[in-house]
Structure 1
Amino acid sequence: MNTASAEASPQVNGIDLSKIKKLPIVISLIIGAFIAMLNETVLNVAYTDLMADLNVTSTTVQWLSTGFMLIVGILVPITALLTQWFTTRQMFLSAMIMFTLGTVLCGIAPQFSILLVGRLIQAVGTGLMLPVMMNTILVIFPPEKRGAAMGSIGLVIMVAPAIGPTLSGLIVEHSSWRWLFYMVIPLAVFSVAFAAVYLKNVSDITKPKVDILSIILSTIGFGGVVYGFSSAGEGSGGWSEPEVYLTIAAGLISLILFAWRQLVIKSPMLDLRAFKFPMFSLSVVLLMVIMMTLFSSLIMLPFYLRGALMLSAFTAGLVLLPGGVINGIMAPVAGKLFDKFGPRAMVTPGIVMLIIILWFMSQLTTDASTGYVILLHCLLMIAISMIMMPGQTTGLNQLPRRFYPHGTAIMNTLQQVSGAIGTALFISIMSSRQTEYLESSSNPTAPSEIAESTAAGVQYAFFIGLLFAVGALVLSFFLKRVKPSEE
């Protein structure tokens, strides 16, 4: 056995990790990840039906999204502590059972408040599951094989959200929104049963001291930032509302205090010393920039398809489906190429491709054909697949084993925060440009002018996304293949 493999496959709980059957473990993780990621986008086109059926406003119904992001943003950093207190099986099974209970509650919810509670319970399961999944991959696979393994996870992480809106549109068009949850229940039950049989414990249980103040500061910090930016992006008053800027300010102050405390206490909840490993730090910043760029497309394209091209929700979902499926198919391919050629050979060309595509997207008009949009979206998703998993794996590969729970929690948390910031930023950019266009229009209430204003807003948002991608390109030149540190 080579040194890297031996280093990545120590004895855990009396089990030699180099000899365990990895495939059943990976399948358990993939099933759970697919269900969780499908659930994140499955409500996207059902909000109108939910508002009518449950008699709530658009601001209220958005809490199904804001609340979900808020819980995940709060929980993910805490998983660095939880994974050192509970075994892999305990964490994953608890997450999936919580998710299943939340899904059942959503399906039978007689009123909005019950639906929201169920959705938040689902978020608890998702927030616990995703870092555990990544941490397990780091533990059971040596660095030279992690690209392919992370790519397999990437397949479901990308395909499931792509299927969500299309599936949602189809179900809502022909049946009740409750079936969006009913269809997930058997999958979730199967995931629990499969993991109970095949998932092994691969984590080190060290039971570090629990620092309550760190948990409080983390909750206020990450929760405040995610909630503040999500509120601004979802139109509940915009940036000028006190609930937005005061929440963000409180979150940032708490994060500064949280970071300081993690550096001075003996057993930090989230060990920020992971940032002293340069490739990890670089990849975290790179992925945050890319996540914001990615959100410019994931958010703007549906607005463009519905508002500028006047497509139905179901048709818009179908337009976005091929790109999502291609992205999922490309994820394991990109992972294997990463294992063979290293990060720079994948990430830098991927970002160059991303910049070119975003430029074409910044030129989209109300006359564009759906076929042209499908082509651009497919190419965009190929570019993203060349960037995300290779960039993520590069950063995590440099960390020593004891930093795995902290590194995965840091990376997942900051991507979640980037998603909230990206959502708010690009919706604000689009809305501002729309307003400018309509103010200069001679007939701002005409449907054709409203469509043109949407196109103008989307164009400008894509152009700003392009500038973010240029920044990511500069960072990509410093990526290199690394071995786990001995520290």
Structure 2
Amino acid sequence: MSARLSVRKTGGGTPAVVRLLVIATFVVILNETIMINAIPRLMHDLQVTERAAQWVSTAFMLTMAAVIPVTGWFLQRVTTRRAYALAMGVFLAGTALSAVAPSFAVLLIGRIIQAGGTAVMMPLLMTTLMTVVPERDRGRVMGTVTLAISVAPAMGPVISGLVLQVASWRWLFVLVLPIAGAVTWFGLRRLENVGEPETGTIDWISVVFAALGFGSLVYGLSRFEAGSAAVPALITVAGIALIVLFVARQLWLQRHGTPLLDLRILRSGTYTKGLVLMAVAFLAMLGSMMLLPLYLQNLRELSPLETGLLVMPGGLAMGLLGPLVGRVYDRFGGRILVIPGSIGITAALAGFTQIAIATPYWQLLALHILLMVSLAAAFTPVFTLALGALPEDLYSHGSSMLGTLQQVAAALGTALVVTVMATRSSALVAAGTDAVTAQLDGMRLAFAVSAALSLVVVVTAVLLPNRSTAPEVPAESGEPETALVEA
């Protein structure tokens, strides 16, 4: 099926093409969360509500969720260099527009354009890695990739806190422009094509179903608040219905055409379990990353810089552990990492449910480090196990599905915690509770919801195998299935 993926796997160090894509992916994914600390500033400068301001992050993730399903089809039909040039060019255009945005609406458009370019980079990186790196080295290389796909979102609030201490929110984009431009120029000089592109037409009906379905789902959830829930519920149900239609369309195209997202990947039990674990873990992570700055700045009255410095050690720990986690996976397998990591995620989120106005900062720091380290222990093995269970011709579709669910989960997590917090706080204020106590109680409840959801991560981690030794689905739909056993 895929001439594009018939590439010789190389051993030894990390291939140059992967190193280049890791750097570029880090730069673009960093912007996914770089605006979190800027929300209070945006509320003041652009005269918008907290619920509206959080859309600079939610819209970014939502756009990625709508675009990434197309990348499985797209990456099989263009060269590596063309995909890279298009992704980085779109990202640069969105960054420039955001930097000069005269209003919140224009800023939102710029963020959506940024996200359109970012959406291509992660599947491009993951697909290329799985293609050129042999199975015995994937844990080590995937540990390096963790810097881009996990640490970049974690470091976004840190960098934005430092910048916002001395400059306006516009500099979050102004400073990124020359860095992204240099990465683009250097990458186009050194990047080599991996494989050959295929031919095929795109199914625009699937594109519409995916964009409207995921968009309606997240938008509907974000509109739930104290009072009438009829309209948000209707929008959410409409989104779910459109996603069902998208899935039905892909199943039909697998028999009568070329699917936008090949759902044969879900026939792999290991891949599906990894998908569930990653989605719920990302939901919990992004939800907590939305709540902490609000707690630290609105209730503890810390500056953006102080907020960034408090969460920086956790982000650094996550990044530094990535390569070590990869080496441990290569030697011992995934269970020794994923099970303790999943338990650590739940423990950290449960700890955050006990926050108070006077909670010592060292306790907040310890909980955040525990959360980031636990996520690092889980993400590298899960990505490697999940994609390793697929045949090569489905790598791009597997990467696209992982990216799509990751962004939907992140957007849902952000919308969920803000909605839970706002609903609880509004109810308490209406009952006569003072505003500070009401908001704190709302945050505790939002953390409790995240902790409860993270129990799914623990259960799924126990069910994952130690290694994926061979593809669990046939490389071509017309081939007979064979039973393949994992270690």
Per the normalisation by structure 1, the TM-score is 0.88
Q: Structure 1 unaligned segments of length 5 or more: list them.
A: 1-9
The residue aligned with 2:445 is: 460
Task: Tell me by how many angstroms 1:371 deviates.
Answer: 1.5
User: Relative to 1, partners in 2 of residues 1:20 and 1:92: Cα closer, same or farther, differing over 3 Å?
Assistant: farther
Aligned residues of 2:14 and 2:141 also touching (Cα < 8 A): no
Q: Which residue, 125, 128, 144 being the options, matches 2:120? A: 128
Task: Tell me by how many angstroms 1:127 deviates.
Answer: 1.1
- Matching residue's letter, 2:216: G
User: Relative to 1, partners in 2 of residues 1:326 and 1:210: Cα closer, same or farther, differing over 3 Å?
Assistant: same
CA offsets 1:449-486 (integer angstroms, 9 cap, x no match): x3333332233333332222222212211111112327
Task: Tell me by how many angstroms 1:59 deviates.
Answer: 5.4
Within a 5 Å distance, the mapping from 1:202-213 to structure 2 comes to: 202-213=194-205
CA offsets 1:353-386 (integer angstroms, 9 cap, x no match): 2233333222222221111111111111111111
User: Relative to 1, partners in 2 of residues 1:175 and 1:357: Cα closer, same or farther, differing over 3 Å?
Assistant: closer
The residue aligned with 1:259 is: 247
Aligned residues of 2:7 and 2:131 also touching (Cα < 8 A): no
Greater displacement, 57-66 / 157-166: 57-66
Within a 5 Å distance, the mapping from 1:45-194 to structure 2 comes to: 45-54=37-46, 58=50, 60-194=52-186
CA offsets 1:300-352 (integer angstroms, 9 cap, x no match): 32233234433233322221111111111112211221121111111111112
CA RMSD of aligned residues (A): 2.6
Count of aligned pairs between the two proteins: 468
Task: Tell me by how many angstroms 1:60 deviates.
Answer: 5.0
Task: Find the aligned partners of 1:281 and 1:239 in 2 and give their Cα distance.
Answer: 36
Task: Tell me by how many angstroms 1:298 deviates.
Answer: 1.9
- Matching residue's letter, 1:289: V
Aligned residues of 2:339 and 2:458 also touching (Cα < 8 A): yes
Provide the secondary structure at the position in 1 that maps to 2:32.
helix
Task: Tell me by how many angstroms 1:146 deviates.
Answer: 1.5
The residue aligned with 1:390 is: 381
Task: Tell me by how many angstroms 1:254 deviates.
Answer: 1.4
The residue aligned with 1:482 is: 468
Task: Find the aligned partners of 1:69 and 1:356 in 2 and give their Cα distance.
Answer: 26
Q: Which residue, 215, 229, 241 being the options, matches 1:240? A: 229
Percent same amino acid at aligned positions? 34
Aligned residues of 1:147 and 1:389 also touching (Cα < 8 A): yes
Aligned residues of 1:100 and 1:185 also touching (Cα < 8 A): yes
Aligned residues of 1:136 and 1:203 also touching (Cα < 8 A): no
User: Relative to 1, partners in 2 of residues 1:355 and 1:19: Cα closer, same or farther, differing over 3 Å?
Assistant: closer
Task: Find the aligned partners of 1:20 and 1:329 in 2 and give their Cα distance.
Answer: 21
User: Relative to 1, partners in 2 of residues 1:382 and 1:57: Cα closer, same or farther, differing over 3 Å?
Assistant: closer
User: Relative to 1, partners in 2 of residues 1:288 and 1:160: Cα closer, same or farther, differing over 3 Å?
Assistant: closer
Q: Structure 2 unaligned segments of length 5 or more: list them.
A: 475-487
Task: Find the aligned partners of 2:300 and 2:43 in 1 and give their Cα distance.
Answer: 24
User: Relative to 1, partners in 2 of residues 1:174 and 1:20: Cα closer, same or farther, differing over 3 Å?
Assistant: same
Aligned residues of 1:225 and 1:417 also touching (Cα < 8 A): no
Task: Find the aligned partners of 2:154 and 2:126 in 1 and give their Cα distance.
Answer: 21
User: Relative to 1, partners in 2 of residues 1:260 and 1:185: Cα closer, same or farther, differing over 3 Å?
Assistant: same
- Matching residue's letter, 1:376: L
User: Relative to 1, partners in 2 of residues 1:239 and 1:338: Cα closer, same or farther, differing over 3 Å?
Assistant: farther
Aligned residues of 2:33 and 2:57 also touching (Cα < 8 A): no
Q: Which residue, 397, 407, 410 being the options, matches 2:398? A: 407
Aligned residues of 1:68 and 1:123 also touching (Cα < 8 A): yes
Task: Tell me by how many angstroms 1:53 deviates.
Answer: 4.3
Task: Find the aligned partners of 1:15 and 1:477 in 2 and give their Cα distance.
Answer: 34
The residue aligned with 2:237 is: 249
The residue aligned with 1:314 is: 305
Task: Tell me by how many angstroms 1:230 deviates.
Answer: 4.1
CA offsets 1:403-433 (integer angstroms, 9 cap, x no match): 1111111111112111222222222333344
Within a 5 Å distance, the mapping from 1:17-28 to structure 2 comes to: 17-18=9-10, 22-28=14-20
Task: Tell me by how many angstroms 1:77 deviates.
Answer: 0.3
1:434 aligns with 2:412: no
- Matching residue's letter, 1:280: Y
Per the normalisation by structure 2, the TM-score is 0.88
Task: Tell me by how many angstroms 1:123 deviates.
Answer: 1.2
Task: Tell me by how many angstroms 1:208 deviates.
Answer: 2.9
Aligned residues of 2:162 and 2:308 also touching (Cα < 8 A): no
- Matching residue's letter, 1:257: L
Q: Which residue, 416, 423, 432 being the options, matches 2:407? A: 416
User: Relative to 1, partners in 2 of residues 1:471 and 1:168: Cα closer, same or farther, differing over 3 Å?
Assistant: closer
Task: Find the aligned partners of 1:436 and 1:372 in 2 and give their Cα distance.
Answer: 29
